[in-house]
Chains A and B, each alone.
With several copies, the nearest count.
Chain A
Amino acid sequence: MAIKKVRAHISPNEALLFERSSPGKKAYQLPELDVPAVDPNTALGAANVRSEIEGFPEVSEVEAVRHFTRLSTWNYAIDHGMYPLGSCTMKYNPRVNELVARTEGLAWAHPYQPESLSQGAMQVMAALESALLEITGMDAVTLQPAAGAHGELTGILLIRALLEHQGNPRKKILIPDSAHGTNPATAAIAGYVVENIRSDEHGLLDLAALEQSVDEDVAGLMVTNPNTLGVFESRIIEAAEVLHRKGALLYMDGANMNALVGIARPGDFGVDVMHLNLHKTFSTPHGGGGPGGGPVAVKKHLEPYLPVPRLKRVDGHLAFDYDRPCSIGKVKAFYGNFGVLVRALAYILAHGGNGLRNATMDAVLNANYIRKKLEPFFDLPYTLPNMHEVVFSDDRQARLGVRTGDIAKRLIDYGFHPYTVSFPLIVHGAMMIEPTETEGKLELDLFIDAMISIAKEIEADPQTVKTAPHSTRTSRVDEVKAARKPVLKWTPASP
């Protein structure tokens, strides 16, 4: 079993900051105070003044640099190699986007500075808005939500506001069983009851089931398209009609827009409201879990309900409009994760229309290539043409006692980040692989080799796979123990 991508090397150990700390060490220097010092007790009242922050670290500058540098080396990252997490669209993050997000006038813009001195920042937002509208085919968009789930919440609140305005907010949101967990969680926060609808035997939305489920209590359907199997919901237009006929709305989870940009537009296939994940489709870096951006795009009928403020053009200038009586209000202070918006716009400007479309085509090609190469070795429970990702099941390997989670861990030994494990739930033992367009054939082939090699290992020596990873500085981590008696912060060892 040739592991080609990695070999063993020394890796630095590092204690926690608190363990490195000792009194008096410092990594900062403040300017000399150019005004008289003020006695805290006098200014604030002694009762309001704290004693020292117990346990807070004290380290030198070189220790701080080394600390974070050493820790960083324990991470895998896109910059190290392919990161085929299905549904997460882990594509390359261009470095110029980091640079422009730090442009002085943008990075230091205060959200309350005069609009006359904010036109540049507002133009960035306006330019992104219009690009996203063109890409989605929708009529209006808010950039306020901070991530996908936040966009979902915003979108469902919009639906609710419209229906309420029509006299009845209704009670239920329909969600296919293949949906991401944020969808039902969102519906609940928006005050809706979730009703799951079972996917059909192809993993698609079951139109008949839908038709049966949609009644006067249904506010809308949340659908991911392409769905979490990576398959396009080919009857989406019919689904929209079913909903619309009953006064319900169609929400699209746009997490998988990387399969559609430049090819098909939700606004053209019946979607009323949708979110985009800027940190997926538009390549803003995931940063170990965030930040993101979750713009919500809507059709005209939902526009009056969008969060305040709305960007508008007045006499050739941009201004914020707070006078929006139907608005659902604010979902977040200020205007959104502006720094993320900058990066997303930079990505769009770099690609242009054609470039975006080419990216989509490459993403789909890459996923299909993987599918073709791995189909002989892994079970593919749903076989319709897939788009940007492909979902296998561990069925064949499970018979030998090896599960998707084990295969994932073994991939680590081969130098790859695992695929997404056990999602979507409609695939038993799911192995959800999304290569994205930014992987070249060299890297894809290495990944395919690794997967095939593991499949063979499982036949010859399942135990090696079940106990993987073997070559990392940290071997398999005991997650059960962590949850049993949670230790969520460092405390000094008792003496």
Chain B
Amino acid sequence: MLEACGVASSEELFAHLPEAVRLNRPLALAPGISEYEIVDYFRKRGDETANGYASFLGAGVYAHYRPVLVDTVVARGEFLTSYTPYQAEISQGTLTTIFEFQTMISQLTGMDLANASMYDGSTAVAEAALMAARFTSKGGLLVARTVHPEYREVLKTYAKNQGMPVTEFGYDPETGQADLNDLESKLNDLTAAVIMQSPNFFGVIEDVNRAAEIAHKRGALAIMGFTEAVSLGILRPPAADIVAGELQSFAISPSYGGPYAGIIATREKFARQMPGRLVGETTDTHGRRAFCLTLATREQHIRREKATSNICTNQALIALMATVFMSVYGKQGLRELAEQNLAKAHYLAGKLRPRFSGPFFNEFAVYADNPEQLNAALLEKKIIGGLPLGRFYPELSGAILLCATEMSKRAHMDRLAEAF
């Protein structure tokens, strides 16, 4: 091959690089190691974590059982090692699964359409806000303080330079629900969107429909977020304009914060403002059903600086995990799963002093005199307690956020309750 290239060594192929840019020493990295050593290395890193603890952490990341089929499917090289399905004729596998994903997300959220995935829930919410601004040609964003604190931070990062002021509205310290009066008072004709999350960060279910009504009265769009996708198995989908959320609960391992999969679902009339990839149905030259990427004129590779988003690589394989998850549980299973989560959380809450009175799904805040001390005591019992809410809400420093799922064992819950 060198000969064919007319060079005596591979080095020569780099001869045209200016001397000044060259690295004239080897990289200061350890020599390559064997597969056996790699496995060993990461196993050791894994052992240096909370391996083997029972955990009641939620707060945007939930411990749900991952059906074995999920990894079976995504381990297939045909899904794992293929690129974005631009070449439809040899990508019908991926395209079909995305079409099914879009359909199921639409069904779950009660929306007309959904895209092929966003990076995660936090960026999905931010992109939804930009989308609303484009559609309404307005800039103000009103976001509830009950939205996941990190999601709000991301929203601010995205909105900052688009001339989109982000205003927060408060919550009812009794119910833990967003304060819709505060919302109403802050809403004005420059508001592009009202952003809420349900169940909210405290696990409390919001009155999303009333919030949407309020928003609509002033020409703002209602964006509804979610972090706990399993709740969609039992909660009525919101009457929102855009639903933006996180599918981590659908067989996506917590994996120290990612990769997860965000979604945006919306109404037909907002379709052309949708960020990210969309798969559509069409036919091949023989008239057979086929799928392909579509409405690409929204996207950066066609539209460049006028694109609806800069997103290119998304979370396809992770969305596929969610697709397999949804197929495995199906209509009845997702409901049953949600009911188990509901029962477990209510069992645990029944043993403790809930901080808020609003209805909750599988997550709730409870009073704790000294959350840090409590958690430290729990660690001794090989239990990771909840999130001290003071971290994000100074006014809630006497409360802790707990989550129970179908994987929470009664014995562990009992032990947790004893520590209070």
Per-residue interface assignment for chain A, residues 106 to 134, with 1 indicating a CB less than 8 Å from any chain B CB and 0 otherwise: 11111111100111110110000001001
User: In terms of DSSP, what is the predominant structure of the interface of chain B?
Assistant: helix
Contact A352 B29 (CB under 8 A): yes
Q: Which of A32-40, A395-403, A454-462 makes up part of the contact surface?
A: A32-40
B14 to A335, Cβ gap below 8 A? no
Q: Is the CB of B80 within 8 A of A486?
A: no
Inter-chain contact B49/A146, CB cutoff 8 Å: no
- In angstroms, Cα B307 to Cα A418, docked, is 25
B154 lies within 8 A of A185 (CB): no
Within 8 A of A (CB), among B22-76: 22-23, 26-39, 41-51, 53, 55, 57, 59-61, 63, 67-69, 71-76
CA distance A32 to B67 in the complex (A): 16
- Cβ of A2 < 8 Å from any Cβ of B? no
Compute how far the CA of A491 lies from the CA of B89 in the bound complex, rounded to whole angstroms: 23
Complex interface: chain B residues within 8 A of A113 (CB): 49-50, 53, 55, 57, 384
A73 CB contact (under 8 Å) in B32, B93, B123: B93
* CB interface residues, A 40-86, toward B, < 8 Å: 40, 43-45, 47-50, 52-59, 61, 64-65, 67-69, 71-80, 83, 85
Question: In the complex the two chains form, is A364's CB within 8 Å of B313's CB?
Answer: no
Q: CB of B254 within 8 A of chain A?
A: yes
**Complex Cα–Cα for A149 and B122 (A):** 16
| B406 adjacent to chain A (CB < 8 Å) | yes
Interface residues of A in 174-192 (CB under 8 A from B): 180-182, 184-191
Q: A213 CA to B233 CA in the complex, in Å? A: 55
* Alpha-carbon separation in the docked complex, A362 to B379 (Å): 49
- B122 near A330 with CB under 8 A, answer yes
Q: Pick the interface stretch among A242-250, A258-266, A296-304.
A: A258-266
Q: Do the beta carbons of B104 and A149 come within 8 Å of each other? A: no
Q: Contacts A76-B90, A361-B11 hold; do A184 and B237 have CB atoms under 8 A apart?
A: no
Do residues A147 and B314 form an inter-chain contact, with CB atoms below 8 A?
yes
For the complex, what is the distance from the CA of A333 to the CA of B157, rounded to whole Å?
11
* Complex-state Cα separation, A329 to B154, whole angstroms: 7
Chain B interface size, as a band, is: 35 or more
B286 touches A333 (CB 8 A): no
Known contacts A74-B96, A185-B305, A418-B87; A332 and B120 CB within 8 A of each other: yes
Give the docked Cα–Cα distance between A387 and B63 (Å). 44
Chain B residues contacting A64 (CB-CB under 8 Å) are: 69, 324, 327-328
Q: A494 on the interface (CB 8 Å rule)?
A: no
B333 within 8 A of A: yes
Residues of A in contact, count (CB < 8 Å): 197
The answer to whether B290 and A263 touch across the interface, beta carbons within 8 angstroms, is no
Interface: A208 (CB within 8 A): no
Chain A residue at smallest Cβ distance from B31: A352
Within 8 A of A (CB), among B184-204: none
Are A98 and B80 touching (Cβ within 8 A)? yes
A69 to B69, CA, bound (A): 11
Q: Which residues of A contact B326 (CB under 8 A)?
A: 56-57
Cβ contact within 8 Å between B150 and A330: yes
Residues of A within 8 A of B112 (CB): 489
Complex-state Cα separation, A26 to B336, whole angstroms: 12
CB pair B81 A38 closer than 8 Å: no
Mark interface residues in B10-28 (1 if CB within 8 Å of A CB, else 0).
1101101110111100111
Q: Which of B109-161 contact A (CB under 8 A)?
A: 112-114, 116-117, 119-123, 130, 148, 150-151, 153-154, 156-158, 160-161
**B167 interfacial contact with A, CB 8 Å:** no
A181-B302 contact given A147-B311, A189-B158, A338-B257, CB 8 Å threshold: yes
Q: Which residues of A contact B63 (CB under 8 A)?
A: 108, 110
Q: Complex formed: what's the CA distance from A287 to B319 in Å?
A: 10
Partner of B277, one of A289, A307, A479: A289
- Nearest CB of chain B from residue A484's CB, rounded to whole Å: 9
Query: Is there an interface contact between A290 and B313, defined as CB atoms closer than 8 Å?
Result: yes
Within 8 A of B (CB), among A16-36: 16-18, 21, 24-36
Q: Which residues of B contact A80 (CB under 8 A)?
A: 77-78
Q: Which residue, of A35, A338, A366, A479, has the highest number of chain B Cβ atoms within 10 A?
A: A35
On whether the beta carbons of A77 and B384 are closer than 8 Å, the reply is no
Q: Check B259 against A286 for contact (C-beta < 8 Å).
A: no
A347 to B: closest C-beta gap in Å: 9
Determine if A103 and B253 form an interchain contact, defined as CB atoms under 8 angstroms apart. no
Q: Say how far A57's CB is from chain B's closest CB, in angstroms.
A: 5
How far apart are A159's CB and chain B's nearest CB, in angstroms? 11
Of the listed residues B85, B304, B375, the one surrounded by the most CB atoms of chain A closer than 10 A to its CB is B304
Whether the pair A476, B285 counts as a contact (CB closer than 8 A) is: yes
Asked whether A76 lies within 8 Å of B331 as measured between CB atoms, the reply is: no
Q: Which of B13, B68, B303 contacts A361 (CB 8 A)?
A: B13
Is B253 a contact partner of A107 (Cβ separation < 8 A)?
yes
Of the candidates B113, B205, B304, the one whose C-beta lies within 8 Å of that of A181 is: B304
Tell me, yes or no, whether B357 is within 8 Å of chain A by CB. no
- Residues of chain A contacted by B20 (CB below 8 angstroms): 237, 268-269
Query: How would residues 176 to 220 of chain A score, 1 for a CB under 8 Å from any chain B CB and 0 otherwise?
Result: 000011101111111100100000000000000000000000000
In the complex, what residues of A have CB within 8 A of residue B339's CB? 37-38, 40
CB under 8 Å from chain A, chain B span 348-393: 359, 361, 375, 379, 384, 387
Picked from B150, B331, B346, B347, the residue with its CB within 8 Å of the CB of A53 is: B331
**Quick check: is B397 within 8 A (CB to CB) of the other chain?**
no
A90 to chain B, nearest CB (A): 6
Q: How far is A356 from B30 in the complex, measured between Cα atoms in Å?
A: 11
Some 25 contacts from A to B, beta carbons below 8 A apart, are A27-B327, A33-B344, A68-B76, A75-B79, A79-B81, A96-B35, A105-B51, A106-B45, A110-B384, A117-B379, A120-B45, A123-B45, A180-B301, A186-B310, A237-B20, A287-B316, A288-B91, A357-B27, A387-B13, A421-B86, A472-B89, A474-B290, A476-B284, A477-B283, A482-B294
- What are the 3 tightest A-B residue pairs by CB atom distance, in nearest-first order? A287-B317, A334-B257, A105-B46
Q: With contacts A98-B68, A169-B161, A184-B304 known, what are 13 further pairs, Cβ within 8 A?
A: A30-B406, A31-B37, A35-B410, A50-B236, A68-B324, A75-B93, A77-B81, A80-B77, A290-B84, A337-B119, A340-B259, A362-B10, A488-B278
